[in-house]
Amino acid sequence: MLISRLTGSILAILLAIALWFPFPALASNYPPPLSYSNAELTGKDFSGQSLIRAEFSNANLQFANFGDADLRGAVFSGSVMTQVNLHGVDLSYGMLDQANLTGVDLSDAILVETMLLGSIFKNTNITGADFTNAILDGAQIKELCAKAIGINSKTNVATSDSLGCQ
């Protein structure tokens, strides 16, 4: 009986200590997303960087280099991205909607489930890009299918197959 009371008292004390001095949240091990929204980033070099969930909404990114960067979940909504290098990036689950992608190099990029509605693809290189389940409208798909060639080196998916080209 005495041992059971003692055990109960010790557990109560440990519980009180745990509640009084809470352990840091596990989420604190993950840094908050980087925010470059509305920034002037013309010509900046982000190549090879891990920019998971970074925010570039409405930024001016003309001539920027993101070659081989990890951009999963990154947001580029409304950004000016003319002549940007996105070769080999992983932009899965990202947002590139309403973005000007004129002259952009998307070769060998992974755009799985990426939101692309309203983006402009004039003179865009999509050789080997994987658009599997990307969100595009019919006109965009038709435009991209006209130049869809190659197979993505990481996913082994043909660009034309990922777009559902006929």
Ordered alpha helix ranges (H), the chain? 2-20, 138-145, 159-163
Res 31: pLDDT: 55
Res 166: pLDDT: 85
Res 1: pLDDT: 57
Whether the per-residue pLDDT at 28 is higher than 70: the answer is no
Contact present, 157 and 164 (Cβ < 8 Å): no
pTM of the model: 0.80
For residues 166 and 6, give the distance between their C-alpha atoms in angstroms, rounded to a whole number.
75
pLDDT in tens, 63-92: 999 999 999 999 999 999 999 999 999 999
- Mapping DSSP onto H, E and C, the string for 57-105 reads CCCECCCCECCCCECCCCECCCCECCCCECCCCECCCCECCCCECCCCE
3-class DSSP assignment, residue 114: coil
3-class DSSP assignment, residue 40: strand
Res 128: pLDDT: 99
Res 6: pLDDT: 55
Going from the N-terminus, what domains does the chain have, and what CATH number goes with each?
34-166 (2.160.20.80)
Tokens 């470059």 belong to: 36
pLDDT in tens, 115-128: 999 999 999 999 99
Contact present, 153 and 130 (Cβ < 8 Å): no
Task: Report residue 26's pLDDT band, with 50, 70 and 90 as the boundaries.
Answer: very low
Kindly report the average pLDDT of the chain as a whole number.
88
For residues 66 and 52, give the distance between their C-alpha atoms in angstroms, rounded to a whole number.
12
